[in-house]
Amino acid sequence: MSARGVAFLDAHVHYHACFDPARFLGGAWANFRRAAAEARCGERFAFFLLLTEARGANWFEHLKECALRGSEIAPAWRARTTDHLCQLSLHGPEGARLDVVSGYQIVTAERLEVLALGSCERIADGLTMTETVEAVGASGAIPVVPWGFGKWLGQRGGYVRALLEGARPGQLFFGDNGNRLSGLPEPGLLRRARDAGFLILPGTDALPFASEADKTGGVGFRIDLNETVQDIHSWQHASDHVRALAPVIPYGRLESAWSFAKNQVAMQVHKRSRSAA
C-alpha cells in the first residue's frame, strides 16, 4: 500500500471564528497522522481538508491572501498556492503539510444542507434541494447531502428520500459526520443510499465552539491512489477517484454519549443566542 500512496480526506470542514488557528492546524495534522498510523499506510500519504464554508465564512480567501503576501497563518505555518485554483497547501513545523480545498455549505429552501466540495463558486442559499444539487454539479464541484442530527426526520426526511430516489450514483453523494452518536445503527437513509450504490463521504463537521478547534481530521475517509498517480497531493486526482465511484474507506470514531449530549445542549443554547441577537 505504501508504494501506491494514500489520501486521507475530511469531507466536512468548518473553520469557525472562535478557533485558534495553531490549535486547529496542529490538531488536524495530529488527527490525520494518527489515522495514517492506524491504517499502516507507510509514509506516502496526503491529508486533505475539504472546506464547507457557510455564508459569511471566507477562511479560504484569507489563506490565499496569506499565501500571496508570504505571511504566517499561525506560528510556523504558511500557505502556498498550487496549480489548482481551489487548492492551497499549508506547511507547518517538522514537515507538516495539509492540503486545503475550497468548498461551501448551502442551505436549501427545505432548510437542509448541500455541500459543494472543490468549488470556487458560491451558490446562493434558498434554492430547492434539486436545484442546488444541479447547480453544484454544473459548477464542477462534488455535491454532497450531509446527515445531521434531527434533520433527516419527518417532512425533511421525505425530501432527502425523494432526492435519493431521483438521482444516480455519481450525480450525488451523501455525507456522514463525526457528531453522530457512537453505538447506534447507521441512519436508515444512509444505509439506503449505500445499498443503492451511492458513496458516503464522512467528515468531522466541527461545531462552533473553541473546544472543537482540534477535532478536524479525526473523521473522514481514505482512498488508495493508483501507482501511476505521481502527485498524491493533487485534488484533481483525489476528486477523479471519488467521481469514478472507486472505493472509499471511512475512518475515525463517533461521539461518546456524554460528548454527544453536551454538544447538543450547547448547540441549542448557541442557536437561541443567535436568534436573540
CATH assignment at residue 253: 3.20.20
Burial tier of 164 (Cβ tally within 10 Å: 0-12, 13-18, 19+): middle
- Beta strands of 4-150 (E only): which ranges? 6-13, 45-51, 72-74, 77-81, 87-91, 97-101, 103-107, 113-117, 142-146
Tell me if 261 is assigned to some domain: yes
Give the pLDDT score at 2: 39
Give tens-digit pLDDT for 170-226: 999 999 998 888 788 889 999 999 999 999 999 999 999 999 999 999 999 999 987
Give the pLDDT score at 180: 87
Tell me if 115 is assigned to some domain: yes
Cβ-based neighbour number of residue 254 at 10 Å: 17
Cα 11 from chain centre: 2
Tell me if 122 is assigned to some domain: yes
Q: pLDDT-based confidence at 20, cuts 50/70/90?
A: very high
Is the confidence at residue 3, as pLDDT, over 60? no
Tell me if 168 is assigned to some domain: yes
Tell me if 42 is assigned to some domain: yes
Number of domains comprising the chain: 1
pTM comes to: 0.92
Tell me if 132 is assigned to some domain: yes
Tell me if 82 is assigned to some domain: yes
Tell me the residue range of the domain where 269 lies.
6-276
Tell me if 97 is assigned to some domain: yes
